[in-house]
Amino acid sequence: MIGVFRAAWIIARKDLLVETRSRELVYTTLFFAVSCVLVFAWAFVREGKPIDNASAGVLWVAIVFSGTLALGRAFERERQSETLRGLLMAPIERAAVYLGKLFALLVLMILVEIVLVPIVALFFHAPIGRAPWLLAGLLVVGTVGFAAVGTLFAAMLVRAQSRDVLLSIVLYPVTVPVVMTGVQGTAAIFAAEPDFGLAQTCLTLLIFFDAVFVTLALWTFAPVMHE
């Protein structure tokens, strides 16, 4: 039996390979995220000026919404050829399937964010150059938290009825701390008088969240997947 991380890497590589071939997820998720931002622009831009510090919220909401769609779609694809069962039949620790899928989703979401952040900055006049590493840190760590919970729930729901709407229903309450803290930290960086200390506190809180919930997800993945 091969080790857990090796197996996870093989799975993640496969997911990324499939995605490079079809590019379905990248294109659709990105386009959706940008459309989302535009919808917010209609709502929050008055007389050609975005209202105070809307950019942080817009960015995070676009990430969460598009991330949820990408999750649903990624697992729906697995469901169609039952390939998730194929993965579960492999003689690897179940946690490897979780980690592999998580990593692939992270790559996808971060790619989307790399495009999304400049676009939000453009439309909402957000000063993204002010503290780029801190901003990147918040986004990456927050995305990990969202994806950690999302991957577990999406996998769980693969065989459930009403899975598409149920994913959003269960995911949003659980990721409230991530979004709230992420927006808080990002807004602190973008504010007229930036508060980097607060942003750093938010980053620390997000790191704790990630640690707890990735661990919890690793523990529950195997029992939950065993019907």
| Interacting residues toward other proteins by CB under 8 A | 1-2, 7, 10-11, 14, 17-18, 21-22, 80-83, 85-94, 149, 152-153, 156-157, 159-163, 166, 169-170, 172-174, 176-177, 180-181, 184, 201-202, 205, 208-209, 212-213, 216, 220, 223-224, 226-227
Q: How far is the CB of 1 from other proteins (least distance, A)?
A: 6
Q: Which is nearer to other proteins, 68 or 184 (CB)?
A: 184
Q: In 3D, which of 212, 117, 201, 108 has the Cα closest to residue 154? A: 108
Q: Which is nearer to other proteins, 116 or 152 (CB)?
A: 152
Q: In 3D, which of 137, 202, 146, 208 has the Cα closest to residue 171? A: 146
Q: How far is the CB of 47 from other proteins (least distance, A)?
A: 26
Distance CA 33, CA 62 (A): 5
Distance CA 213, CA 149 (A): 7
Residues paired with 46 in a beta bridge:
49
Q: How far is the CB of 61 from other proteins (least distance, A)?
A: 15
Distance CA 72, CA 28 (A): 12
Q: Which is nearer to other proteins, 133 or 161 (CB)?
A: 161
Q: How far is the CB of 41 from other proteins (least distance, A)?
A: 24
By the 8 A CB rule, do 192 and 210 touch? Answer: no
